Amino acid sequence: MQTKTNCIVRKEQYDPKELNLHETLFCNANGYIGVRGTLEEGVPADFPTMRGQYLAGAYEIIPMKQAESLCNLVEKKQTMLNICDTQTIRLSVSGEDFLPAEGGTEEAERILNMSEGYTERRTRWISPSGREIDVRIRRMAHFRVKELFTIDYEVTALNFSGEAVFDSFHIPEVENYSDPNDPRLADESPCFLKLEKQGFREEASFSVTRTKESGVSIAAVTNHRCFSEAKPYSMVREEGEALITRLRIPVRKGERIRVIKYAAFSDSIREKDPLAKAVKVVHDAMERDIDELYEDQKSYLGSFYSRSHMEIKGDKELEDAVSFNMYELLQAAPHDAFAGIAAKGLSGEGYEGHYFWDTEMYVVPFFLMTEPKLAENILSFRYATLQRARENAALLGHRRGALYPWRTITGVECSGYFPSGTAAYHINGAIAYAVTQYYYATSDKDFLIKMGLEILIETARLWLDTGVYDRKGRFQIQEVTGPDEYTCMVNNNYYTNASARYNLSSAAKLYEEFRDEPEIQRLAERLGFSEDEKEEMREAAEKMYLPYDEEYGINPQDDSFLDKPVWDLKATPKEDFPLLLHYHPLHLYRFQVCKQADTVLSHFLFPKLQSRETMEKSFRYYERITTHDSSLSTCVFSMTASMLGLKKEALLYFGDSAKLDLMNRHENTKDGVHTANMGGCYMAIVNGFAGIRITEHGLSIDPFLPEGLTGYSFPFTFRGRRLKLTVEKDTAALKLLSGEAFDFRFREENGRLEEEGLWTHRL
């Protein structure tokens, strides 16, 4: 592992424009806790900041009144919680408060160390009166001790002797973030938490808060350990609702003193006694040497990288961006079935922490190839909320099946505007696709029998209940919204129909494969699922209508899409993008203009449904009318371009996608990272450049080396095997690192790898 190089380093100028971007980039998360990279001492009042600390799956329920109350519309929504602030530590040296915006800073930088799993902040600060200190703060959200977050604060007095005073805060009741200028961020900013108890037990601060509506309890505990020559003087106090630990430490010129703050969090969703759990986590952590915790973190990541590290030769910046993306995905991935992956992971409050279809379609493929257990967690969350999806379907008038919510935390629909929310039935297709892919990539029969097949059947049933045979005997699906939200509630959205087809046929096929298993027989009985219904699924899949336009030779996005006028993108002022913020939806709906890949994505996912010519013509057609206002778009254009052999386009779109957050390309990374795009970026390499596909027939590979790169290489897992693909200018090499021999396809050829074997091919 490249211990030293796998870092993101940025200058910190304490500039208000950059600080909240850094809060996202230097966020620490471990799939359970997420703490934004805020400054310990806080920022001046006029600086924008989203001072956030989150727990996966912790939520509040808030009213969402509809302007016009129609039957069964959603009138409440869930929102993620900003939980108690334990980030705040105010330092003063000999009476001067450490405030980098006052005085001067030198050599200030922020580091995300992705090999060792911490962020670091270094600042040399000259106080207004001339005292110089060197500050180094490391923060870690521990991957193995999920409830633990540490701040490791070191101060060196460079040119004076005196006293350092740390006021370390634990503030149980905090507010969620709001930005009235952006509808994608909630515009309510109340405190959702009610304090149940707080105080100190010996030197440890503790608090328990409880959400007002959802009744989720959150416990937090902090404690400190000091390292200094002189004995520190410690005192605790409560000020209003804040619990403050004051550490007063004499310091001599040249001396480095160190304070480690241990914070632990737990919640009533997972634990019966969250406070006891948090107390224990802090206690156990303090029993261990801090270096042991750091080592443990590093070893976890070492293991992760051994299954995932992506080498890109010839473009260091790109490699860094890809590494960053993969690290962020790991930070976002839940470690149990109590949460999904939010649109912004655990790095910010954008989209209120809701989980969308992106998780299954863009993020699951990454974990499938690297950490299948994490993919299973995500799908287990969907299984855990299947009953709610059934209830959601019933609210929409369906007599059978389950419809997963478009946006949710608990599995209950939270869309305020159903035409571009609930009506996006294709989320069912995405979940069914991920379940099927998971099975083909892992051969995890147990999951399929216990959870997967039930998901497949219930989602497929929904299509049967939604669609209808037209007079020509074609199976049509009406009044749904595809991935492109610039057209809503359309008939026969190509993407939706294609993914419904896959869902239906996968349910039928995998049921047939397992129908003799006693567990599946019991499942069928419980669901009232018969051979007839299975046949109904098979037939609907077969007769699924997939619109095709003879004149243009492309697949229209939906039945009436091509009758609309083409939006004049060239004449649209730059400041009018994203269009959804500048045009009434009804206006957008009347044009051929796409927010994101839609038909283009379905061609990537289901390439057998159309000829290469149709797909290429379609690609060219949609390319001209897509704004990529959504961050889910360019990665898909890249992978589809790869598939079609459009190498130039594949690289171009990939670059856009890979650097989106690290380079803040959409200028909104401050609200949190774009997890879906990060997953899409991985897919653009692995499924795009490398052309890896996993189907019921196994693994196939069809790689190319994009211009400008000298090679790329990555390990991956496939059905229990560990493999590594290396693509260079003239050769592709596939090595079986561990696991049994197997057959695969390489382009049009059959290949076979024996145990620990190497297979190479000239390109």
Contacting residues toward a second copy, per CB under 8 A: 64-75, 183, 187, 395-398, 415-419, 421-423, 466, 468, 470-471, 476, 478-479, 488-489, 491, 551, 559-560, 562-565, 580-590
First to last CA, the chain: 28
Q: How far is the CB of 532 from a second copy (least distance, A)?
A: 19
Q: How far is the CB of 551 from a second copy (least distance, A)?
A: 7
Catalytic positions are 485
- Considering beta carbons, is residue 64 or 195 the nearer one to a second copy? 64
Q: Could you give the CA distance from residue 496 to residue 666 in angstroms, rounded to a whole number?
A: 27
Nearest alpha-carbon partner for 374 in 119, 658, 679, 604: 679
Give the type of residue at 314: G
Q: How far is the CB of 591 from a second copy (least distance, A)?
A: 9
- Considering beta carbons, is residue 158 or 396 the nearer one to a second copy? 396
At residue 60, φ and ψ (nearest 5 deg) are -120, 160
CA gyration radius, the chain: 27
Q: Could you give the CA distance from residue 439 to residue 448 in angstroms, rounded to a whole number?
A: 7
- Considering beta carbons, is residue 45 or 70 the nearer one to a second copy? 70
Q: How far is the CB of 455 from a second copy (least distance, A)?
A: 22
Q: DSSP of 179-200, one letter per residue?
A: -TT-TTS-S-----EEEEEEEE
> Where does 240-290 show beta strands of DSSP type E?
242-251, 256-267
Q: How far is the CB of 578 from a second copy (least distance, A)?
A: 10
Contact between residue 218 and residue 55 where contact means Cβ atoms under 8 Å apart: yes
Q: Which own/partner pairs from 705-709 qualify as long-range (CB within 8 Å, at least 24 positions apart)?
A: 705/729, 705/763, 706/647, 706/650, 706/651, 706/654, 707/647, 707/648, 707/651, 708/314, 708/315, 708/651, 709/312, 709/313, 709/314, 709/315, 709/318
Contact between residue 463 and residue 504 where contact means Cβ atoms under 8 Å apart: yes
Contact between residue 150 and residue 262 where contact means Cβ atoms under 8 Å apart: yes
Structure tokens at 565: 């006028």
Residues with Cβ within 8 Å of 110's Cβ and at least 6 positions away in sequence, in order, are 9, 10, 11, 12, 22, 25, 26, 37, 119, 120, 121, 122
- Considering beta carbons, is residue 373 or 587 the nearer one to a second copy? 587
Nearest alpha-carbon partner for 149 in 276, 298, 34, 301: 34
Q: How far is the CB of 560 from a second copy (least distance, A)?
A: 5
Structure tokens at 671: 């609200």
- Considering beta carbons, is residue 73 or 285 the nearer one to a second copy? 73
Structure tokens at 289: 């040497």
- Considering beta carbons, is residue 574 or 762 the nearer one to a second copy? 574
- Considering beta carbons, is residue 245 or 627 the nearer one to a second copy? 627
Q: How far is the CB of 621 from a second copy (least distance, A)?
A: 15
Residues with Cβ within 8 Å of 379's Cβ and at least 6 positions away in sequence, in order, are 360, 364, 431, 434, 435, 438, 447, 451, 452, 455
Contact between residue 603 and residue 610 where contact means Cβ atoms under 8 Å apart: yes
Contact between residue 681 and residue 403 where contact means Cβ atoms under 8 Å apart: no
Q: Could you give the CA distance from residue 330 to residue 309 in angstroms, rounded to a whole number?
A: 12
Paired strand residues for 10: 110
Q: Could you give the CA distance from residue 53 to residue 83 in angstroms, rounded to a whole number?
A: 6
How far lies 762's CA from each of 136, 704, 726, 728, in Å?
50, 11, 12, 9
- Considering beta carbons, is residue 183 or 720 the nearer one to a second copy? 183
Q: Could you give the CA distance from residue 194 to residue 652 in angstroms, rounded to a whole number?
A: 50
- Considering beta carbons, is residue 185 or 243 the nearer one to a second copy? 185
- Considering beta carbons, is residue 177 or 262 the nearer one to a second copy? 177
